[in-house]
Amino acid sequence: MIRTEKQVVAVIGQGYVGLPLAVASAEAGFNVVGLDKSSDLVSRLNSGNSHIEDIADNRLMSLIGSGKYRSSSEFSDVTGAMVCIICVPTPLAKDGKPDLSFLEKAVVSIAPYLQDNALLINESTSYPGTLRDVIKPLVEKNRKGGAASIHFASAPERIDPKNQKWDLKSTPRLVSGLDREATDLAKSFYSTICSQVIELSSPEVAEMAKLLENTFRQVNIALVNQLVPFSRELGIDIREVIKAAGTKPYGFMEFYPGAGVGGHCIPIDPMYLLWKSRQLGIDLPFIENADRVNANMPAYVSKRLVELIKDDKSKNLLICGVSYKSGVADVRESPAHQVALELEKMGYKVLWSDPLVESFQGFEKYSNQGLCGAIIVTAQVGLDRQFIENLKVPVLDCTGVFSLATNAIQL
């Protein structure tokens, strides 16, 4: 049984997944140390400055003041933690294959400090078998005494930043350990911070469920993206079609087209599933085709934008909204980057505007320079109809949010 009184929890990685988990654990009564390799981030966190939109500074400061939370870049601080949770990035390498380097380095770094009977949980997204075939062997190799006394469990993260309905507490949590005791310990821990904990038969099921969730989204977004040029040729508004189909009370879910897919889940997770399938010699053509369709959208919308331009004397094009989703400043895997690269290849200078983002891939920020056109990639908080109309150039709206703007043309 995991008890909160004086129990130490170590959360490895203090990003979009790790910091909310650390805060929730501290608020549940645990003494939490949030570990991160970035000393600058650690310093900011210990000063009460949150870099995550869902965690307010005063909320973090309250936990620091009570002694329930502190951040550190010293992995030796894992010593004494009965629960240790890995929340690090699992991106794709340049060749499109899974990059587990952050995960592997985290495990190697904490392994020497894991105490007997500690529960080691992986929340980082990866292919089925990662806990059993990667994490446990690394602990076995790098910990004095091996892995026999460590409990291993998988509980994939389900964080959706700025979601007002489904947060860490209200979203059901999937858990499974490598053995019965690990599963029970994981259930006990997550029951202190999540309203519903669902036990699965194996970590592999939990790992694959996470990949399926986002592959489902990838495939369905690709379906509607593929229908965009087809509907346009027929003179049909694809968004109206989707809303019409959405009136059916069963058997249909609404997915909308856009400039592509972005963030740390949809463009990446399906590739982990695809990589694993190729290791087994099994074809998954739906996933391959969906990835190709969505990857081609930045080129398609860039071409559409250029077709709208009537006066290209300035050669300046503006991208409005460069984060991967509305309400966040996160630009990881944002389709806006690929759109920018496509427009540059076509000979245009790319400017950008996003009220939440401080810098974007080295591109120049918009400050009332002359424009010949603009494209809305993300309907970012703070962008409004008046801003769009004041641009006084054709604007391709990939979001469907600015349909009332007189100069906006819908995707």
List residues with catalytic annotation.
265
Rounded Cα gap, residues 31 and 222, in angstroms: 44
- CA 42 vs CA 16, 27, 70, 77, 138: distances in Å: 14, 19, 9, 13, 26
Please name the helix (run of DSSP H) or strand (run of DSSP E) that holds residue 99, with its range, or none. Answer: none
Rounded Cα gap, residues 343 and 279, in angstroms: 36
Please name the helix (run of DSSP H) or strand (run of DSSP E) that holds residue 232, with its range, or none. Answer: helix 203-234
* Beta bridge partner(s), residue 71: 34
Which among 169, 344, 335, 184 is positioned nearest to 259, based on CA atoms? 335
Rounded Cα gap, residues 294 and 300, in angstroms: 10
- CA 30 vs CA 90, 308, 403: distances in Å: 27, 57, 48
Rounded Cα gap, residues 353 and 366, in angstroms: 6
Rounded Cα gap, residues 164 and 328, in angstroms: 13
Residues contacting residue 314 through CB under 8 Å, at least 6 positions apart: 369, 370, 371, 372
* Residue 205 in tokens: 């099921």
Which residue bears the tokens 């320079």?
A: 369
| Helix 285-308 / helix 335-345 crossing angle, nearest 10 deg | 50
